[in-house]
Structure formats: structure tokens, C-alpha cells
Amino acid sequence: MNWISIQNPEELEQIDQWSKEAPVLLFKHSTRCSISSAALNRLETAWKEENSAALKPVYIDLIRFRPLSNAIATRYGIEHESPQALVISNGKCVYSESHFGINYHDLLAAAKV
């Protein structure tokens, strides 16, 4: 899976721009959490690379870039959780799930892939 990594709140403007062309998956990952690692592994195992054009995968390291997670919660009107997967379309969060509720097929359905 070819993740795009973002590190600061200013990059959310780019996410919104990308999401006008195709939905964007934001995956918020805590490198210190076994549940987060399991959710990430499940997602990466199920991922089919041909879906990257229709659902651009973006990775956020919550431990290193916590202010970014807070900015995401504020910008998209969602409560912070970890791990968390968001689908952003046309600058709006159209899907949010956390922990073991993160499911590859649900993400694709939310992106209408």
C-alpha cells in the first residue's frame, strides 16, 4: 500500500483539494497501540492497489503529529479516536470509523468505488 504521509495541519488544504477529484482515506494511526497496528494490518492486507486512484490513502502518525489529529477533528467535525479511518469527499468527512470497525469494504462503499 502506497501511503501518502502528512505531518501538519496546513496539509489538510491539499487533502480537501484532492478530495474534489476523488475521495481521500485518512488513516490515523497510533504506533504505540496494538489495536491500531492490527487495524492497519487488516486494511493493508485487504487493500487492492487499483483502488488507490479512486480512494487516495493518507497516513497520519498520531504520536509524532498529535496537533494534526486535533486539526482533523476540528476541520471535519468528528471526534478524535485512534485508530480511525475517515473518508473525505469534496472537503467533507462522509465516513468515519474506529478500532475494529475499520473495514476495507465499508471504506470502498463510502467512497463509492
What's the pLDDT tens digit per position in 13-61? 999 999 999 999 999 999 999 999 999 999 999 999 998 888 999 999 9
The residue with cell 503529529 is 65
Contact yes or no for 6/15 (Cβ under 8 A)? yes
As a whole number, the mean pLDDT across the chain is 95
Domains and their CATH numbers in the chain: 4-111 (3.40.30.10)
What pLDDT sits at residue 105? 94
What pLDDT sits at residue 113? 60
Residue 77 has pLDDT above 80, yes or no: yes
Residue 1 has pLDDT above 90, yes or no: no
pTM of the predicted protein model: 0.94
Residue 55 is given by DSSP the state: S
